[in-house]
Homo-oligomer: A and B are copies of this chain.
Amino acid sequence: MDAPLHLNDDRLFSADATVRVIARELYEAVRNLPIVSPHGHTDPSWFALNAPFENPAALLLQPDHYLLRMLYSQGISLTDLGIATIGDGDANPQRDAREIWRLFASNYYLFRGTPSRLWLDTVFSEVFGLEIALSAASADRYFDRISEALERPEFLPRALFERFDIEILATTESPLDSLAAHRAIAEDSWGGRVITTYRPDSVVDPEYENFAEHVAQFGELTGQDTGHWQGYLAAHRVRRRFFKSLGATATDHGHPSAATADLPLSACESLYRRCLSGQADAHEAEQFRAQVLTEMAGMSLEDGLVMQLHPGSYRNHNAPLFTQYGRDRGADIPMTTDYVKALRPLLNRYGNEAGLTLIVFTLDETSYSRELAPLAGHYPALRLGPAWWFHDSPEGMRRFREQVTETAGFYNTVGFNDDTRAFLSIPARHDMARRMDCNFLAQLVAEHRLPLDEAGELAVELSYTLAKRAYRL
């Protein structure tokens, strides 16, 4: 017999009846607010082209590194999951999508206790109307039902965007990207608001593959002389303006550490030359990235783009896997991350500017109460990004609020980010965040630490308003 798939309406709320009743009340007022998604990695061409999604495995499994990593950790090969090796080149080995789906389904029990399970069950139930649980036995039924749905007009990207009530969706692009998809969307009569974000890592990180070539291309694209530091900065200014013209309100910076620097001009020039020449050592590369962050903050103060920084990931930790399958396969591992000394040069230069918004994320939860909440609870320019990557989960969100709120309050945080490529799970992720925040507020109310009416105001702030305000949307 098949196990039922049932989403309890009280899911994620406390088992305690007092707290639960309050959480429910708070949640009812925010559950249907539009989705504001200011930070994510969906593909804008989905909305530009509005073509049908391919198949269940390609849509739900293969782009989701949370799923790939767990399956891989239990001995399932990425090849069996349909992931192409570098050797395959662009030619995806075209494994049978149904076989891949069956493999996934028969290992679905591995996700017990993880947020992936909760998101997927929500997608299965709410988007596809499935009523039995996913398992080896139900794999084919799932595959057929989802495949059929994907052929229908109401499952086209734009239709889903509207059905999900997404008010705004930000994607992330390289400065070298033509933004063709975004231009197509802007020129189209469709009303959906899909905007870009300026993510310059490939021209900021001297250790990025082919850095010098990227910088040369950056110069051509902008008509600036990127052979020199001032031209390089000018190229950023030009390209930021272009991104802004296509809706961007923010930049996004993924660095190994949170290091920032505030070097004299001459040092910048010579450091830049060494980086371009490929002779920079690890320390110089770090210094360069650090200096550029401070420059980016200065430009944000000029052009109003909100700055996002998320350091602390050891990218491509598994060298053999990287060689075989490339980036973003679930082998990025968080590291201990310092913010206090690292951010000081930037904050001492620009941190007292209320006109700047710098949103900082962390993969190292120990920094919540020790560093980030005290910093954000002091510097006017600083805000804290939500619980994120590995921590965008019920316990992760709970720890974030418990460890941040007492020192930084709610108003130095910026609402929720889904940060995902998994488009269909966006409503499920925002719903989880709203439920967890309402439950946290309900706990405060139940323990007489906050009046109910103020909790109601905060529920709206955390679900909707703070994100719009912080990201200037």
Contacts and interface: CB of A to CB of B under 8 A. Distances in A.
A360 interface: no
B331 A73 contact: no
Contact of A409 (B15, B113, B318, B396): B113
B352 A340 contact: no
A73 B377 contact: yes
Interface stretch (A32-40, A97-105, A290-298, A449-457): A449-457
A344 B369 contact: no
B318 A341 contact: no
Interface in A363-399: 363-366, 369-371, 373-380, 382, 390-391, 393-396
A354 B75 contact: yes
Which residue, A114, A320, A394, A443, has most C-beta atoms of chain B within 10 A? A114
Interface in A332-351: 333-336, 338, 340-341, 344, 347-348, 351
A170 interface: no
Nearest to A11: B448
Interface stretch (A42-50, A194-202, A244-252, A400-408): A400-408
A456 B38 CA distance: 40
A321 interface: yes
Given A69-B377, A75-B354, 4 more contacts: A15-B447, A113-B405, A113-B450, A114-B406
B334 A374 contact: yes
A161 B3 CA distance: 40
A152 interface: no
Interface string A316-329: 01111100000000
B114 A333 contact: no
Given A378-B333, A449-B11, A114 B73 contact: no
A466 to B, nearest CB: 13
Nearest to A383: B73
A56 interface: no
B449 A118 contact: yes
B378 A370 contact: no
A35 B327 CA distance: 43
Which residue, A330, A340, A447, A450, has most C-beta atoms of chain B within 10 A? A447
Interface of A: 3, 7-8, 10-19, 69-70, 72-75, 109-115, 118, 133, 314, 317-321, 330-331, 333-336, 338, 340-341, 344, 347-348, 351-352, 354, 363-366, 369-371, 373-380, 382, 390-391, 393-396, 402-403, 405-412, 443-444, 446-451, 453-454, 458
A126 to B, nearest CB: 15
Which residue, A73, A351, A354, has most C-beta atoms of chain B within 10 A? A73
Contacts of A112: 409-410, 450, 454, 458
A101 to B, nearest CB: 20
Contacts of A448: 7-8, 10-12
B458 A378 contact: no
A410 B340 CA distance: 32
29 contacts: A3-B453, A10-B448, A11-B448, A11-B449, A12-B449, A15-B443, A69-B377, A73-B376, A73-B382, A73-B408, A74-B411, A112-B410, A114-B406, A118-B449, A317-B340, A317-B375, A318-B352, A320-B348, A333-B340, A333-B375, A334-B340, A334-B370, A334-B374, A366-B370, A374-B390, A390-B406, A393-B407, A395-B405, A396-B406
Contacts of A354: 75
Contacts of A8: 448
A113 B371 contact: no
Given A15-B19, A318-B348, A409 B447 contact: no
A275 to B, nearest CB: 24
Contacts of A380: 72-75
A341 B390 CA distance: 19
Given A72-B380, A444-B113, A454-B112, A335 B331 contact: no
